[in-house]
Chains A and B, each alone.
Chain A
Amino acid sequence: MNEMNEVRKPPVATTGIIGWLRINLFFNWTNSLITLFVIYCLYQFIPWILDWTIFSADFKYNYLGEQITNQEMCSRNLDPENGGACWAVIYVRFYQFIYGFYPKAEVWRVNVAYVMLALALLPLLYAKLPYRKYFLYFTYIFPVIAYFLLNGGLGFTEVSTNKWGGLLVTLVLGCTGIALAFPIGIMLALGRRSKLPVISMMCTLFIEFIRGVPLITLLFFGMVMLPLFLPEGIDMDGLIRVLVAVTLFQSAYMAEVIRGGLQAIPPGQYEAAKSLGMSYWRMNLLIILPQAIRISIPPIVNTSIGLFKDTTLVIIVGILDLLGIGRGTLADTNWLGLSYEIYFFVSLVFFIFTFGMSRYSLYLEKKLKTGINMGAD
């Protein structure tokens, strides 16, 4: 009897590290062959890329110990055998990458705006923040503060938008586009589902038109055609014209995402709200939209990632965002031929933002799933 009670351990070959290796990497001979091949390729590739990006790369000084001020001083241009990436270009041009041509004396304003942006995003991203209510008030007034801080006015000297550039423009376009497109998208989504045929038709036409043409044509529209539509004397800023195009574009996509959320709300919710005597707007504001937006947050984040990447298109109409500054640097004879370093750096910055957003959207999706299940139980 004693022997029967004894718990037998699983065979060694299926548990622990060895078991994991056997199941995931060496399950059968084709699998093992693939694993060995991949390891061989990685063995060839990883040391080379590490060497190029880090070990033989110049960060500020070249291998002779001189501070690098142009591409001729990069180790790899002095001695092709001895040197990898030349990150000094990023070091030297870092200010432009982050602030564009914003005057150095006023740059503290941009820094304050960056910090405030982080503070304003905090209550939106993290629902359990203590004193979230007060943080949210700050979020609502942040756009106004940021406008005066960056653009000038209220005692600040004016900095015209053609001096803005780099990450500043990328963030301004991304954040403003998303923030403005959100309410417009909600109105369009409600309009498209409206029972009034004229309104529903107009919203549908607008959404389908915007979604059917590439963003670049809308940017051209903003740049070339918008000035023709406006009466004389109204001279719109280039950045604002681009913002109009980006916002129109994003609001159509946002509308479709929110419409998906609206469709997921069971009709009982509408009927219950109406039976309480609520008007159309009260019903939508208090009952339908809070639920619909909650479900559509992950796809909203996904379209926002798309917009954030698409802001790079503004370089085609001559606005210098992060990528634009990168290309401008490459056109400078001092930094000719350093395209890999510059594109690598710009990609990395975009990757950090967009990958962060996509991870956040996954986290929300997981949280939402458990939330809904708990409600159903």
Chain B
Amino acid sequence: MRSNLGFFSDEKFRSIFFQTLVVGLFALGLFFVISTTSYNLEKRNIATGWSFLQNPAGFDISFSPFLEFKSTDTHLKVYFVGVLNTLLVSITGCIAATILGFILGIVRLSSNWLLSRLVYIYVEFSRNVPLLLQIILWYSILIQLPRVKQSLQVLDVFYISNRGLYSPRPIFESGFSYVLIAIVLALISSFLINRWAKKRQDKTGQQFPVFSSSIGLIFIVPLILFFILGSPLSFEHPELKGFNFKGGLVIRPEFIAMFLALSIYTAAFISEIVRAGIMSVSKGQREASAAIGLKQTWIMRLIIIPQALRVIVPPLTSQYLNLTKNSSLGIAVGYADLVHGFGGISLNQTGQAIECMAIVMATYLSISLTISFFMNIYNRSIQFKEK
């Protein structure tokens, strides 16, 4: 076929031509944006650079459970407090959402019509109402709790009020590190026992009570050690002084609202994923395992769940990613996470919009990539292994 366009009809030439064109246009656009931006910045007297990170922040952060934060600390510290708060609510939220989601997904498949309908209603309601609305709603419920003076008392040690949940703070004394070492050792040895028992069962068919022996190792041995060392742990109880509690461990309502809303919202999605995963396991598997005389709970644990996990894990990963990204909504209730603390208050105080937003976006990207990386490793470990 002849073409009057000459060498333009050559595929190789065309591909190079278009790609050069795109790169050229992109570079041109970038140049335009950079030059206008630097002009605009100059006009507004904003100096670019990272030196603002060393300046004192000048504001307080109400919730910083891991780092002590004072208003004289730097913006860099605001960033670290924000990252830790984002990670705290994301990790606790993911754990709670997974547990709740699995339970609800299994209950949704229960043979009891009423129960499964109830879960269905819950799932539809929490999936179809915007998360931001749910966060604000939980927060408005929590701040309508009684004032500090009339706070609700649970078990004589927890106080619930509109300022949050006050609980005793554990104080670790000198000998407690031995107990921690014992717990870590127990965890490692029960992991090794599990591997050994599996190998032995594969070879000889003999079973070993892995579960009960692990429980014994992890809980009872450290507990005995704890009492031998003379209980090296005491609690600092919160005390009402003036208008507020002094001492103790406080969990702020902002965190509780975020935690509840994120985990309840995501659990609805996870329960649907779990349901679809369990339903993807063919009926024959259940019948076959019943035919060889396995108990109902064992069928679930040994046959159904391992196969369902292969279907469940990829969408579960994206739910974890969503939950982490959604934790940025904490700004609506004043939870001092990455977006609220560093991307919000620090940005407004310093005016370094480009730098702050770049750092915040890069941090979220790295968190997302890390979650994907680990979930991909886990996913590979549970997929079919062909021998």
* A interface, CB within 8 angstroms of B: 23-25, 27, 31, 34-35, 38-39, 195-199, 202, 209, 211-217, 220-221, 224-225, 227-232, 305, 309-310, 312-313, 315-316, 323, 327, 339-340, 343, 346-347, 350-351, 354-355, 358
Q: A217-B364, A229-B33 are in contact. Are A347 and B133 (CB under 8 A)?
A: yes
- Interfacial residues of chain B within 339-387, with CB under 8 A of chain A in the complex: 339, 343, 347, 353-354, 357, 360-361, 364-365, 368-369
> Is B328 within 8 A of A216, CB to CB?
yes
Q: Does B178 contact A (CB under 8 A)?
A: no
Cα–Cα, bound, A198→B361 (Å)? 24
> Is A313 within 8 A of B132, CB to CB?
yes
> Is B365 within 8 A of A213, CB to CB?
yes
Q: Does B131 contact A (CB under 8 A)?
A: yes
Residue of A whose beta carbon sits closest to that of B347: A224
Main secondary structure of the interface of B (DSSP, over half): helix
Provide the residues of chain B in CB contact with A355, threshold 8 Å. Answer: 124, 128
Cα–Cα, bound, A287→B28 (Å)? 35
Q: Does B64 contact A (CB under 8 A)?
A: no
Name A196's contact: one of B15, B118, B136, B354 (CB within 8 Å).
B15
> Is A34 within 8 A of B115, CB to CB?
yes
Q: Does B326 contact A (CB under 8 A)?
A: yes
Provide the residues of chain B in CB contact with A196, threshold 8 Å. Answer: 15, 18-19
> Is A31 within 8 A of B22, CB to CB?
no
Cα–Cα, bound, A214→B133 (Å)? 17
Provide the residues of chain A in CB contact with B155, threshold 8 Å. Answer: none
Provide the residues of chain B in CB contact with A351, threshold 8 Å. Answer: 125, 128-129
Provide the residues of chain A in CB contact with B328, threshold 8 Å. Answer: 214, 216-217
| A-B pairs under 8 A by CB, number | 141
> Is A199 within 8 A of B19, CB to CB?
yes
> Is B19 within 8 A of A213, CB to CB?
no
Q: Does B285 contact A (CB under 8 A)?
A: no
Q: Does B325 contact A (CB under 8 A)?
A: yes
Provide the residues of chain A in CB contact with B325, threshold 8 Å. Answer: 213-215
> Is A343 within 8 A of B115, CB to CB?
no
> Is B364 within 8 A of A350, CB to CB?
no
> Is A212 within 8 A of B368, CB to CB?
yes
- 13 residue pairs from A and B, CB less than 8 Å apart: A25-B112, A25-B113, A217-B328, A217-B364, A224-B353, A228-B41, A316-B329, A346-B133, A347-B133, A350-B133, A351-B125, A354-B128, A354-B129
Provide the residues of chain A in CB contact with B317, threshold 8 Å. Answer: none
Q: A196-B15, A214-B339, A225-B354 are in contact. Are A358 and B331 (CB under 8 A)?
A: no
Provide the residues of chain A in CB contact with B360, threshold 8 Å. Answer: 217
Q: Does B26 contact A (CB under 8 A)?
A: yes
* Interface size in chain B (residues, C-beta < 8 A): 50
**A-contact 0/1 string along B148-179, CB 8 Å cutoff:** 00000000000000000000000000000000
Q: Does B228 contact A (CB under 8 A)?
A: no
- Interfacial residues of chain B within 305-341, with CB under 8 A of chain A in the complex: 325-326, 328-329, 331-332, 339
> Is A229 within 8 A of B37, CB to CB?
yes
Name B343's contact: one of A209, A220, A232, A310 (CB within 8 Å).
A220
Provide the residues of chain A in CB contact with B326, threshold 8 Å. Answer: 214
> Is A217 within 8 A of B19, CB to CB?
no
> Is A198 within 8 A of B36, CB to CB?
no
> Is B361 within 8 A of A213, CB to CB?
yes
Cα–Cα, bound, A4→B326 (Å)? 68
Residue of B whose beta carbon sits closest to that of A224: B353
Please give the distance in Å from A42's CB to the nearest CB on chain B.
8
Q: Does B204 contact A (CB under 8 A)?
A: no
Q: A217-B360, A351-B125, A355-B124 are in contact. Are A27 and B111 (CB under 8 A)?
A: yes
Q: A31-B112, A35-B112, A312-B133 are in contact. List 7 more A-B contacts (CB 8 A).
A: A38-B118, A214-B329, A228-B36, A229-B40, A232-B40, A316-B332, A351-B125
Q: Does B130 contact A (CB under 8 A)?
A: yes
Q: Does B279 contact A (CB under 8 A)?
A: no
Q: Does B140 contact A (CB under 8 A)?
A: yes
> Is A312 within 8 A of B132, CB to CB?
yes
Cα–Cα, bound, A38→B365 (Å)? 44
Cα–Cα, bound, A199→B113 (Å)? 53
Q: Does B5 contact A (CB under 8 A)?
A: no
Cα–Cα, bound, A351→B129 (Å)? 6
Q: Does B114 contact A (CB under 8 A)?
A: yes
Q: Counting chain A CB atoms within 10 Å of each CB, which of B19, B111, B129 scores highest? A: B129
Cα–Cα, bound, A368→B354 (Å)? 46
Cα–Cα, bound, A346→B22 (Å)? 45
